[in-house]
Amino acid sequence: VNARFGKDDEGRSRLEREQDSDKVWTADLVLLAIGYTGPEPDGIVGRLRLDLDERGNVRCDAEYMTSRPGVFSAGDMRRGQSLVVWAISEGREAARAADRYLTGYTSLPTKGTGDLPRAR
């Protein structure tokens, strides 16, 4: 099956099947090497009704908090497919923000820029 990116009703990118593009090959082993399509909207994201950005990633404020107060997100779920160094960095910053949210104070370390890295 061929697939191409289309848009859903809310303008978000979505993979769509190309009609009549089915092909059959016999194989002993198939490895899927496909790109990411963002967080699954039907799982915890849907149950918590978290806002998504235009790319389907979980929208957060500058403190890594989602549209649901007290729920934080970081890494691929927030910024989309990226690098493990970003996931580590954002996880640490989000933990710091959660600590401050829960206790009103934090002594956890920060990179100190104060800016939320842009999602890419």
Quickly count: other Cβ atoms within 10 Å of residue 119's Cβ.
15
CA distance 63 to 73: 9
CB of 22 to ligand FAD, least distance (A): 26
CB of 34 to ligand FAD, least distance (A): 10
- Out of 76, 94, 96, 97, the only residue in the binding site for ligand FAD (CB under 6 A) is 76
- Residue whose beta carbon is closest to ligand FAD: 75
The structure tokens listed for 34 are 């496909």
CB of 12 to ligand FAD, least distance (A): 20
The structure tokens listed for 52 are 């998504």
Q: Based on the shown chain and the rule CB under 6 A, indicate whether residue 87 belongs to the binding site for ligand FAD.
A: yes
The structure tokens listed for 65 are 């908090």
